[in-house]
Amino acid sequence: MSSIELTPSQKKILRALTNLHTDAEDAIKGEDIAEQVDRNPGTIRNQMQSLKALQLVEGVPGPKGGYKPTAAAYEALEIQQMDEPASVPLEHNGEEVEGVLVEEIDLSSVHHPELCRAEVHLQGSMGDIHENDDVRVGPTPLSKLVIDGTVDGKDDTNNILILRIDDMRAPAEEPAH
């Protein structure tokens, strides 16, 4: 999977969008993002075009319109950060798994929500984890993304768990005052 290299300002805008979206759940207006990152709305619109092209943002038309982050947006922000493996907790049937590092979370089938799968790349043993077990991954270090899923398959050779995503959320960060 190719990781997307974001410019610092794209990163800032995307982070503002994901934070605002967690609070609002609705599409976020360009003006609100502009206010958060201290840029003018025109700049935001231009940046959004490139973020849309990268499939990190969806434009929502209409009076309630604006922008929504795709699942890939959370992933892109995460990849920017996960250059060194941070410890992302992994729970298996409600128990934290010791000695396993989550290296990467790949939300590749984002465009088919009904097939929503996450590939979780691990370091360590996953011998005790079986199909249809409940697994929770997260919170991730940056976007605090938590994925609750059911094991759909595993690739022992490459240490990958395939999860059917049951729930995915990223709580809003407390604004730093």
Domains plus CATH for the chain?
8-70 (1.10.10.10), 82-169 (no CATH)
Closest CA to 12 of 35, 3, 23: 35
When comparing pLDDT for 174 and 31, which is higher?
A: 31
Distance CA 137, CA 149 (A): 8
> 6: exposed, middle or buried (C-beta count within 10 Å: 0-12, 13-18, 19+)?
buried
**pLDDT band at residue 114, thresholds of 50, 70 and 90?**
low
User: Which CA distances in Å does 55 have to 16, 69, 70, 86?
Assistant: 17, 9, 7, 25
- The pTM of the full predicted model, rounded to 2 decimals, is 0.55
- For the ranges 64-68, 102-106, 152-156, 164-168, which has the lowest average pLDDT? 102-106
- Confidence class of residue 1 from pLDDT cuts 50, 70 and 90? very low
Is a pLDDT exceeding 70 seen at residue 50? yes
**Using 50, 70 and 90 to split pLDDT, how confident is the model at 111?**
low
pLDDT score of 82: 58
* Interatomic CA distance for residues 79 and 158, integer angstroms: 19
